[in-house]
Amino acid sequence: MKLTVVKESRPGEARVAMVPELVAKLTELGYAVAVEPDAGTPALYSDDEYAAVGATVDPAALSGAAVVLSVQPLTSQQVRRLQPGAATISFLSPAQALDLVAERRDVGITSFSMELVPRISRAQSMDALSSQALVAGYRCAIVAAQRLRRFFPLSMTAAGTITPAQVVVLGAGVAGLQAIATAKRLGAVVKAYDVRAAAAEEIRSMGATAIELDLETLEGAGGYAREMSEDRSARQREALSPYIAAADALITTAAVPGRQAPLLVTTEMVEQMKPGSVIIDLAAETGGNVEGAVAGSVVQVGGAQIWGAFNVPSQMPGPASKLYAQNLVNIVTLMTRDEAFAPDFDDEIVAGSCVTHAGQVTHAPTHELLEGGE
């Protein structure tokens, strides 16, 4: 069976869905692996490296493919080149791509969305949201350190003492915890806040101080956060203001599944920060935690600069691709039987991540959104 790895076409996407060192895992499963030319080039993997491990590098790699792997969803043009019944595995964000979903349904493509892989322990090795959040969290702390025009660590020298930078992290999920760990390793004094009760212990286990606010916690389904009411949101902003005013670097990573990112920091709060302060808003692409943040740009507000994140995992495409490719190998392995791609739709992971199959939209919330709009 032919398994194809595409060259990503979305601007700013430097990752690739499969790395040469994992191609053998797919051939062992029985797949003939085909790669579009230059698919790995932005992540610094050459065509020769893929060829050396037995993959075919072919401009027509999509034709006849049974399974197609990519980071971003295939374009409409690519989907129309697939044979009916072919399967795609990629990030898909179905709620934001209803037209692409409807097209896949109509063309008879089976699509799996990596965002929808259930977060159960059996699926941990397939959890691409976590693997990419890990990369993004690390990168955010490094960007903060690079943009801040002062030391992160304490430096005691014969010429005097330099005090360490004060870093505040809002949102302590996978990315936030990685940002905390990285800022700590660089020597900053780190404080962090999250609305989930369980997060305080995780923050402390990274060596940071958990900011305790006199506010109710917000646990939602599946260990995620719930959306804040406007009243709680205003009280949280007020209570966080002094911590933010004292920070040299602020890293925000807060998200609520299926919703716009919560607004945690207003312009007024930013204006109270010290000159030269740096804000890294990882949520800039989904509405922003910080008022005025623009994805992919740096905005100056008062004396502070706000770095709005845009596809941060792609800024470290080598390791991000390697982790994502391993997630894909694990999910493809789950869906392969007797050297054939044969997903078992009774399996919770398969059913949970499937968006379209056999001419139907199988993901209930997406189905509802489409029906409502048609």
Residues at the site binding ligand NAD, with contacts judged by CB under 6 A? 119, 124, 127, 129-130, 133, 170-176, 193-196, 199, 223-225, 228, 253-257, 262, 264
Exactly one of 38, 83, 93, 119 is catalytic; which is it?
A: 119
In which residue are the tokens 């409409």 written? 76
Nearer to ligand NAD, 129 or 370 (CB): 129
Query: Cβ 120 to ligand NAD, closest distance in Å?
Result: 6
Query: Cβ 173 to ligand NAD, closest distance in Å?
Result: 2
Separation of alpha carbons 203 and 177, rounded Å: 7
224 a catalytic residue: yes
Exactly one of 90, 130, 131, 305 is catalytic; which is it?
A: 130
Nearer to ligand NAD, 121 or 161 (CB): 121
119 a catalytic residue: yes
Q: Quick one: tokens of 292?
A: 């005025």
Nearer to ligand NAD, 68 or 195 (CB): 195
Main-chain phi, psi angles of 66, to 5 degrees: -90, -35
Query: Cβ 42 to ligand NAD, closest distance in Å?
Result: 25
Exactly one of 124, 155, 229, 300 is catalytic; which is it?
A: 124
Exactly one of 50, 111, 127, 194 is catalytic; which is it?
A: 127
The residue among 231, 138, 123 whose CA lies nearest residue 186 is 138
Asked if 253 and 170 touch (Cβ cutoff 8 Å), the reply is yes
What's the burial of 273, exposed, middle or buried (CB within 10 Å: 0-12/13-18/19+)? buried
Q: Who's near 198: CB < 8 A, 6+ residues apart?
A: 219, 223
Separation of alpha carbons 225 and 105, rounded Å: 32
Nearer to ligand NAD, 36 or 127 (CB): 127
Separation of alpha carbons 183 and 169, rounded Å: 10
Query: Cβ 237 to ligand NAD, closest distance in Å?
Result: 10
Which residues are the active-site residues?
119, 124, 127, 130, 224
